[in-house]
Amino acid sequence: MTGSRPRDISPAQLVMLLLLCRLFVLFTYTSRSENNLSGPAVLAAVPLAAAGALLMLLPFFLLRRKAGSDMLTAFWRVGRPFGAALTAACGLFCVYMAASTAGHFSFFLVSTVYQNAKQWVFVLLFLLAAAYAAALGLEAFSRAGGFFFAAAMAAGALLLFALLPEVDLANLANPFLDPGALAAGTLRGVAGNADILLFLLLFPRVRGGSGKTGFWWVALTAAVWWVLCFFVLTALGDYAGTRLFPLQTAAAVANLSVFGRMDLVHITVWIITAFLRAAAWLYCGCTCLRRLFPKVRMGAASALCALAAGIAAVAAAPLWEAAGSAWESGVPLLLLAVAAPLVTLCFPRAKSPVEDGKEAAQ
């Protein structure tokens, strides 16, 4: 009975987990003008990007109606080569995302906090902890996500409260003034939302999950994103666009009574979100690996994925820029999260026997 069978998680746990994963990206790039969303346009681009994310979830839910909620199983039902290829692609994407999280995080640390330290040390420690969490299983780190979510929300509220005196509405401009920037920002917001694949891969482990889960995740993430962008833009103004990590700058600017600077709070929340995000991607990587090689144990799979992610994050650093730009185009995500479910839908074999049974009964 106990201690042996894997447990499912609740929809609320999934929403909290994915929201925190998305928060990591927001902490990294919010309102960074030259590479990501343009300053004023971000406030309009965020809701539009959320609508885009919901559209990207549609093929999966169509597939779910026909073939059940496990996308990988549906791939394998089509055929072994098809299933193996797509599972391997998903696994590689997951490892890449874990490496990307470790890389971005360690880059932040060596560029702002520990300026004389070696980046590989942070990548190693970070992936070690994330691999441990992934090996303990989804239910363990998604439960931890509940604590982290509460901590992140409390820290965020404190940060924004401390930032209130710096808010100046004069820094806001009409977000629709530059339609080009708005369109680019929206597209980047959708294409850069790799967590959509995370949602698709974790959804089968959700007890009683439905379309509402996806909606709540997208809506809550957009709301948090919008609020953070609003505060950063109004508090820092054009200065935000010149900073590498604008939210960290905003935290350093914020001053709350005896607490002094708030960047420690920012760093803490960032570490928490990065840890959780890397653990989630590694876990999904392990899931894919174990679909391909069912005899591999969870601990070994987690170590293998972390090793691959570590090599990708450190040793393959010269290739990182090219890989990063390919990823930012959103093509791999579109292929795996949208095209693959749509193609699978075309195969009658993908249909779940359980669903067949239900239809026959009806």
Partner 1 sequence: MGVIRYLKGLFAPPPAYAPPRPDEGADKKLGSALLDNLIGVRAMFTDSGDLIIHEVQVCGVPCAVLMCEGMVNTQTFSEMFAEPLTRLRLEKPGPDSVLDWVRHQSLLAPDQKEIHTFGELFRFMMSGFVVLLIDGIAGGSVFGIQGFSGRSVGEPAGETNVRGSREGFSEMLRPNMSLLRRRFKSPDLIFEMTVFGDKSRTDCTLVYLRGAVSDELLREVKYRLSKVKIDVVLESGYLQPFLDSKPLSLFSGVGVTERPDTLCAKVAEGRVGLLVDGTPYALIVPYLFAENFQSLDDYSHRPYFATFIRWLKYAAFALSILLPGLYVAVGSFHPELLPATILTSLVVSEETTPFPLMFEALAVFFIYEIVREAGLRMPQAVGHAVSIVGALVIGDAAVNAGIIGAPMVIVVAVTAISSFVVPSLYEPVTVLRFAFILIGGLSGVFGVVLALCAVIVNLCAVNPLGVPATSPATPFSLYPMRDVLFRWGWRTLAKEDLRVQDLAGSDIRGEGTADDR
**Site for partner 1, rule CB under 8 A:** 1-3, 5, 7, 9-10, 12-13, 109, 113-114, 121-122, 125-126, 129, 132-133, 136-137, 139-141, 143-148, 258, 260-261, 263-264, 267-268, 271-272, 275-276, 279
Contact 36, 188 (CB under 8 A): yes
> For partner 1, which is the closer residue by CB, 272 or 313?
272
Measured from the CB of residue 302, what is the shortest distance to partner 1 in angstroms?
Answer: 12
Measured from the CB of residue 68, what is the shortest distance to partner 1 in angstroms?
Answer: 23
* φ, ψ of residue 347 in degrees (nearest 5): -95, 120
Measured from the CB of residue 7, what is the shortest distance to partner 1 in angstroms?
Answer: 7
Per-residue burial over 337-362, b = 16 or more CB atoms within 10 Å of its CB, e = otherwise: bbebbebbbeeeebbbeeeeeeeeee
> For partner 1, which is the closer residue by CB, 23 or 276?
276
> For partner 1, which is the closer residue by CB, 54 or 135?
135
- According to DSSP H, which parts of the chain are helical? 11-29, 42-67, 71-78, 80-108, 119-136, 138-163, 179-191, 195-202, 211-236, 239-242, 246-253, 263-292, 298-314, 317-328, 331-333, 340-345, 353-361
What DSSP letter does each residue of 225-292 carry, written as one string? Answer: HHHHHHHHHHHHTTHHHH-SSHHHHHHHH-B-GGG-B-HHHHHHHHHHHHHHHHHHHHHHHHHHHHHH
> For partner 1, which is the closer residue by CB, 132 or 226?
132
Measured from the CB of residue 2, what is the shortest distance to partner 1 in angstroms?
Answer: 4
> For partner 1, which is the closer residue by CB, 93 or 203?
203
> For partner 1, which is the closer residue by CB, 157 or 339?
157
Measured from the CB of residue 133, what is the shortest distance to partner 1 in angstroms?
Answer: 4
Measured from the CB of residue 143, what is the shortest distance to partner 1 in angstroms?
Answer: 4
> For partner 1, which is the closer residue by CB, 172 or 267?
267
Measured from the CB of residue 147, what is the shortest distance to partner 1 in angstroms?
Answer: 6
Output the CA–CA distances (angstroms, integers) from residue 311 to 103, 220, 297, 317, in the order listed.
11, 34, 21, 9
215: helix, strand or coil: helix
